[in-house]
């Protein structure tokens, strides 16, 4: 049986977003939607404000990473301002890796981070979510039912990052 498709998995999953969003109680002052390149500059600025330097140091590579990832979600306020985002990669069957999840400081503790993660998992419900976190965010992940496990990183031999 051939289980491969020429359409990337994230393209096949994208239409499911509206159905997944309908299952959640999203505050009226916010909207969760699929990321698009028009949010790239705001995402880079929000990342820089958090001390995340990769988007600033490697903007072309960062844009390609976002374009080739799914689920990629943004939280925006009623004025269209980006207030949070999530980028993940998935095999659609076993593992979804949360690459980045960030909510602007002034919008934290409103449930947006949890909502972004819940919507992500709703798009790929049979997968486990794996992630790396910082000391500052560990408590958040514990509160939303994530469990601690050890992880490692091997830097690129080409870029050193």
Q: What is the CATH number of the domain that holds 67?
A: 3.40.630.30
| 161 occurs within a structural domain | no
| 2 occurs within a structural domain | no
What pTM, to 2 d.p., does this model score? 0.85
Structural domains counted in the chain: 1
Residues 135/124/105/83 CA torsion (nearest 10 deg): 160
Give residue 16's domain range. Answer: 9-143
- pLDDT digit of tens for each residue in the chain (161 aa)? 555 555 655 566 678 899 999 999 999 999 999 999 999 999 999 999 999 999 999 999 999 999 999 999 999 999 999 999 999 999 988 899 999 999 999 999 999 999 999 999 999 999 989 888 777 777 777 787 778 877 776 776 776 76
| 93 occurs within a structural domain | yes
- Assess contact for 34 and 17: CB atoms under 8 A: yes
């Amino acid at each position: 049986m051939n289980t491969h498709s020429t359409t990337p998995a994230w393209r096949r999953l994208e239409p499911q977003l509206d159905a997944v969003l309908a299952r959640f109680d999203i505050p009226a002052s916010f909207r969760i939607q699929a990321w698009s390149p028009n949010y790239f500059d705001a995402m880079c600025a929000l990342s820089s404000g958090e001390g995340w330097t990769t988007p600033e140091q490697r903007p072309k590579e960062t844009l390609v990473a976002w374009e080739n990832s799914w689920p990629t979600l943004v939280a925006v306020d009623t004025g269209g301002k980006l207030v949070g985002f999530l980028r993940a990669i998935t095999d659609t069957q076993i593992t979804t890796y949360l690459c980045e999840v960030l909510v602007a400081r002034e919008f934290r503790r409103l449930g947006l981070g949890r909502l972004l993660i819940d919507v992500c998992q709703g798009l790929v419900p049979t997968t486990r979510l794996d992630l790396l976190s910082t000391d500052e965010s560990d408590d958040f992940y514990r509160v939303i039912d994530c469990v601690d496990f050890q992880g490692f990183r091997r830097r690129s031999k080409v870029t050193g990052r």
